[in-house]
Each structure stands twice: as structure tokens, then as C-alpha cells.
Amino acid sequence: MAADLNSYFNEKFGIEGKDIRTYSPLTLAYIGDAIFDVIIRSVLVNKGNTAVNNLHKRASSVVKAGTQAAFVKAIMDDLTEEEADYYRRGRNSKPHTKAKNATTMDYLDATGFEAVMGFLYLTDNMDRACELVNLGIEKLGLDILS
């Protein structure tokens, strides 16, 4: 079921699926940020019960613009042509907010990464989203899986 999470929600709430090409890159980044957060939090929680404060610290160290920018740079050569296109669209969008704790370039790269995650989620490709997150974790040497 994980690969069809968006379709599952659409079915449960009586929503007809939309053409992904009609979504703005910022809309894709909006949902993609949440999906990335859910993936990281799920990995942490499923590794075993621990203090919520520790979970939050570990998740927050990964789910932030600087780390998302590093993720996308690490996996750039592994993106399909279509994924790279969604990344570029997200990165080149004009966000209406400013980066709080990141450089402007990191914020834009992170927005591109989030757009890819949103694209994969909305096209029912959570397997690929998880594959890319796992690849980024491995390439960056993050200790989230240990």
C-alpha cells in the first residue's frame, strides 16, 4: 500500500486525482517537505522507542534546508531525467518566504528536492521516494539508520 498512499487518501476522501503537470513547483514542494519529514520520522520511530526529544533532535538535523540541499547534490546523478526536471522547476521557482536558517542557494536547492519528493508522492511512487532518501542517507553518511 505504501506506493499508493496518495491514491489511498484520494479514495478515502472522495477526491478525483489531478494531472500532476498542472501543479506549481511550490505546491509540489509543499507536500514534498511533509513527505520527506514523514519518511525521516518513520525511520527514526521504527528503529525503536526513544525519548521524543531525541527523536525531534535527530529528525530536525535532517529535515532542514541545508541537509535537503546536501541530499539533492549527493543524489543528483541518480535522478531520472523527469525527476531532475522537477528539481529544476522547484529550484527555479520564486518562493514567497525567505530562508530562516539557510543560505538562499540551500533554500532553493531544498525547494527543488522537496518538489521531487512531492512529484513522487503525487504520482504514487513512494518506493522511489524512499529509494532516493535512502541513497542520500548513505551518500551523506548520516547516522540516522544506526
* Residue numbers annotated as active site: 33
How far, rounded to the nearest angstrom, does the alpha carbon of residue 121 sit from its chain's CA centroid?
9
CA–CA dist 36, 129 (Å, integer): 8
E strand segments, 3-138:
none
CB 59 within 8 Å of CB 41: yes
Residue type, 19: D
